[in-house]
Chains A and B, each alone.
Chain A
Amino acid sequence: MVGVLIRMRLRVLRHGLRGSARAAPFLVGSVFGLVGGLFTAVVLAVGGPGGAAGESLAIGTDVAAALLAAWTLGWVVGPVLLSGSDETLQPEHFRLLPIGPRRLAGGLLVSAVVGVPPLVSLVAFAGLVVRGATLGVGPLVVALVVVPLQLALVLALSRVVVGALGAVLRSRRGRDLGVLLAAGTALLIVPAQYAVKAIAPILVERRSPGFVAVLRALPSGWAPVAVEAAARADWWRVVGAVGGLAALVAVLAWAWSALLVRRMTTPPSATGPTRAGRKGAAAGGGLWALVPATPVGAVAAKEVRTWWRDARRRSVLVPGLVLGLALPALPAVLEDDRGHLGVGVLAYAPLFVIFISTMNTGNLYGFDGTALWHTLVQPAAAGADVRGRQLAWLVYVAPVAVVAAFALPALSGQTGAYPWLLSLVPALLGGGSGVLAVMSVFAAYPVPVQRSNPFAAGGMPGCSKALLQVAISLLMLVVALPEVALVAAGSVVDSAALRWLATPVGVGVGLLSAWAFGRIAVRRLEERGPELLAAVRPR
């Protein structure tokens, strides 16, 4: 059976590579993976920097344990972050065949070794074999045993984690959770970069014995520990590490087969339907009472609800709001000792909020997919649709930006930022809501149907659409020019009146640009509605 499964995987892989459009990202990814694998292999083989024999041996093991921990983490986090776990062969495909789930689990697990990521990982881990060979015959033999075990460990662990998550994620509410989880993981990348910078000296200079001990004690560290123990002829430790690794792989394989049984025998939507509100949804709900009963009001209320209820929408809006505030704050906190940026950028966070929120959400019709038909069949609804969407976006972004614009300069003691912020924030809010509409109509791209893969959150705009988005975003600079010019001129001639004149100008520019850019989007939607519908239809 394993042979059939492997042939199936290879065939599916080959079909997936038809045409250069699909093959190119695959090849680029493979090359990058291979470079990373070779780099790891070299570091594993060389070990740490030279020094006293015993110390160099220990440092090499520490570095190896850290690298292997990183690879293992990658196997767990990668599927959550990227296009989902390896579902080339889905267990459901075999549901109707008379094969027991345990046997199927074994077969799928073994066939999972075929593929580029496992191959790249094997290349990386093979560095341990080279290191074993330099240390002697005993370590070499141990390395030859632990490297396949290490590969089996990451494969099985990745399957179990994604399988366990998948069991949760198969209901719609769970999928919404998964989207947020992926967005949240993406947010961790920035702090992670700072963490990596900090780790290297800890390892090489042996600053933190506790941290190193944890790295070695983690299952990902058992393979290098076994090799090191063999070099020291500490055979009990070798047996313990190798036996532990093997036992862990067995437990994970068993756990995965148990998850597989559950996946194949329970219906996809285990949890009940989501309720829209706890109570009082009758009589139109509270929100309708707040907005005027006009077409624009109806669209705005629908959009406010959709931003709140659709995890995919939330996952593009919330990071903008959080990241916008966090990005300037991070250097403020972390680079304090060098004093490069320090607190300086913090006050300008509201501008980041507006800019990132505009860029992230500029695919409104793509998020809604083919629901655009509903607007297209209404008479003269394009105007109401665009204006309502602009308003709903402002409902979420404007309060955060405005409150931050008033609070942050005061909190960071940079009151000099007020003329800049109070003129630029209204201008960019208006401009952003307009740019958002223009981008959504002119550079719309399809977003995959959420049913297919819980982790496929965003969809990719493609090269030409991405360039178009960048080009449209330049409109934000145009909007910012008058205010910047006024405040800068006011600073040069030292005129408070000129500096504060920028604020009413900013408000005016904001209103004007929201109206004018929105008008462009309305025209386009009126004239090219069916083409937009075709552009956002998932393929």
Chain B
Amino acid sequence: MDVTREAAGAQEGVRAEGAEDAGGVPALRLSGLVKAFDGRTAVDRVSLAVPRGSFFGLVGPNGAGKTTTLSMAVGLLRPDAGRAHILGADVWADPARAKELVGVLPDGLTLPERLTGRELLTYTGLLRGLPPDTVARRTEELLAVLELAEADRTLVVDYSAGMRKKIGLATALLHAPKLLVLDEPFEAVDPVSAATIRTILRRFVDSGGAVVLSSHVMTLVEQLCDHVAVIAGGRVVASGPVELVRGGQSLEAAFVHLVGGRTGGAEGLSWLAS
């Protein structure tokens, strides 16, 4: 099957690039992660290497295990087996070091809801042990850049879905991490804010940081990311530089092909014709 060949080729691409990378330590390395819920395997031996300075997209159909994988990568879900390393620090054996290096934005989890955006950032910074003046300065800048400054007195519980994503991103950026792990960062975000977030992430990568984001919007991943991994049924079916994975077609076409899907909707429904 050309799918497996493609996947194997993609894996080689990653390995080759990982070896070239300065120091050889990937920004994020997942090795053999396994997670089962009630006997059903959600993530099945997922291994990935995210090179430093890369913009890494994680794509897959609904229920493929993207969120489960990312939760295990950042220490929010204990894997049944396997390891996760952030810039060489083991997430489960040396959590303090790993958590200093990573900024996280999960999807669908609440924040400390009864704080304003400013209070949330101040709280986060002080909890991280940052100096108070640094916290104040960065909070000010983040609120201004993310256009949350005028919502100064609104509690997070009253934020719109897009504003929540933005304040969540701000808490992830506050301590100047080296790696960002973002679960569906563009979901429910309006186009203007999405462009702002894209620019911020682009600059973060250009200055040497690495970003891992999950999405099911293929065009977005195609535009934004230089690396991509496709997850289906809890397994990595392809991973590597975007060019290699899509192999001459659009990422969307390659994706449908890779996950063994078939675009439905062509049969039946004859009564819909007016």
Contacts and interface: CB of A to CB of B under 8 A. Distances in A.
A281 B152 contact: yes
Contact of B112 (A294, A302, A380): A302
Contacts of A309: 114, 155
Given A172-B158, A379-B96, A379-B97, A305 B114 contact: yes
A498 interface: no
B109 interface: yes
Which are the 9 A-B pairs with shortest beta-carbon distances? A298-B126, A273-B158, A370-B109, A379-B99, A309-B114, A293-B132, A379-B96, A377-B104, A306-B114
B214 interface: no
B51 to A, nearest CB: 22
B95 A530 contact: no
Contact of A530 (B76, B126, B127): B76
Interface stretch (B17-25, B55-63, B116-124, B259-267): B116-124
B45 interface: no
Interface of A: 172, 273-277, 281-285, 288, 293-295, 297-299, 301-302, 305-306, 309-310, 368-371, 373-381, 384-385, 529-531, 533-534
Given A302-B115, A376-B75, A377-B104, A275 B127 contact: no
A170 to B, nearest CB: 14
Contacts of B171: 374
A373 B106 CA distance: 8
Contacts of B77: 530, 533-534
B137 to A, nearest CB: 12
Contacts of B75: 376-377, 529-530
Nearest to B177: A377
B78 interface: yes
Contact of B76 (A283, A297, A301, A533): A533
Contacts of B98: 379
Contacts of A284: 118-119, 122, 136
Contact of A299 (B127, B152, B155): B127
A423 to B, nearest CB: 36
Interface of B: 74-78, 95-100, 102, 104, 106, 108-116, 118-119, 122-129, 132, 135-136, 152-155, 157-158, 171
Contact of A281 (B116, B136, B157): B116
A298 B130 CA distance: 11
Contact of B153 (A277, A375, A385, A530): A277
Contacts of A275: 153-154
Nearest to B79: A530
B76 A373 contact: yes
Contacts of A380: 95-96, 99
A368 B110 contact: yes
Nearest to B136: A284
A285 B114 contact: no
Given A301-B123, A302-B119, A379-B96, A371 B76 contact: no
